[in-house]
Amino acid sequence: MTAPGGRESASEPAPDRTARAASVQSFYGRWATLYDGLARFTPGIGRLRREAVAALRLDRGDTVVDLGCGTGANLPYLREAVGPSGTVVGVDLTRGMLDRARRLVDAAGWRNVHVVKGDATRPPVVGGDDRVTDGVEGVDGVLASFVVGMLADPASAVADWCALATPGAGTDDPGHVVLVDAALSDRPVARPVNAAFRALTVLSTPPTRKFRYDPSPHDVLRDRVHAARDALREHATATYHAEHLLGVVRVTGGRVPPHGEPS
């Protein structure tokens, strides 16, 4: 989802993070059914998801984390990429979204696909009691689809995702982080698409008591998306970039070198 309403950020005061998270969960929980339809049946969305998963360069047996997994639209493609011997972890903040994702996993009988409630900026994937999988030594790929625009500090989040994308000990394989995002296009020919995107951004933004948005949600979204892409270029080597809908939708992939190898 494109809304810049904001997931939690470590830079925000705790009361603000709590209130913001509650607003996001309530808003997207109410719209989970509609979101699920858009996430699965929008023309071209399946090809876009396959493209993003291919950019992760996953192998059979790999572990991949889908941050902001929503209703689980990416999960079939990720599970296909890693096979029955791999591990897929979907993380989302909203219970309504997760309930639909869990029904998808249960119906398919995927024993190696896990769906957990958590914040994309602090995914409960590895480390101590928060670890959600057994026998997983590291994470080979991190996918974030239409997530960075919802984060108050996307650059820090992307840096953390690059640190998370570290395969287990004993391997020299790199990790990969892929961002799928949407923002206003800079192309002059994209004016009609930009107009439609502005309307979509406002409609998908959690409500506010303000009479008008200042700054506008699509400007906030564009700044956050650019910050996330800059952070990915800083912490990873670019391996993939593609644009769709006249530059509104972009897929950006980065290679995270193994520890000790310069990026």
State the Cα angle at 97 between 96 and 99, rounded to 5°: 65
Domains of the chain and CATH, by start? 14-256 (3.40.50.150)
pLDDT surpassing 60 at residue 46: yes
Q: What is the mean pLDDT of residues 207-236?
A: 79
d(CA 42, CA 31): 16
User: What are the tens digits of pLDDT across the range 161-179?
Assistant: 999 998 865 677 899 999 9
Yes or no: say if 228 and 154 are a contact pair by the CB < 8 Å rule. Answer: yes
Average pLDDT over residues 116-139: 70
Compute the distance between CA of residue 217 and CA of residue 119 in angstroms, rounded to an integer.
21
The amino acid occupying position 262 is P
Whether the ω angle into residue 206 lies within 30 degrees of 0, i.e. cis, is no
pLDDT of residue 3: 44
Give the mean model confidence (pLDDT) for residues 11-38.
50
Residue 30 has pLDDT above 60, yes or no: no
Instruction: Report whether 152 contacts 177 (CB < 8 A).
Output: no
Q: What is the mean pLDDT of the chain?
A: 80
Q: Which residue has the higher pLDDT, 124 or 206?
A: 124
User: What pLDDT score does 40 carry?
Assistant: 56
Q: Which residues contact 248 (CB under 8 A, 6 or more apart)?
A: 182, 183, 184, 185, 190, 193, 194, 197
> pLDDT-derived band of residue 140, with 50, 70 and 90 as boundaries?
very high
Band (217; pLDDT cuts 50, 70, 90): confident
pLDDT at 8 over 50: no
From 124, 48, 47, select the one nearest 89 (Cα to Cα): 124
Q: Can you give the pTM of this predicted structure?
A: 0.80
Task: Report whether pLDDT(21) > 80.
Answer: no
Higher pLDDT, 250 or 132: 250
Q: Which of 127-131, 222-226, 235-239 has the lowest mean pLDDT?
A: 127-131
Q: Supply the pLDDT for residue 258.
A: 79
Which one has a higher pLDDT value, 125 or 126?
125
When pLDDT is averaged across residues 32-39 and rounded to a whole number, the result is 50
Unique residue bearing structure tokens 């979101």: 35
pLDDT digit string, tens, across residues 189-199 = 888 887 887 77
The percent of residues above 90 in pLDDT, for the chain, comes to 46
The pLDDT value recorded for residue 162 is 94
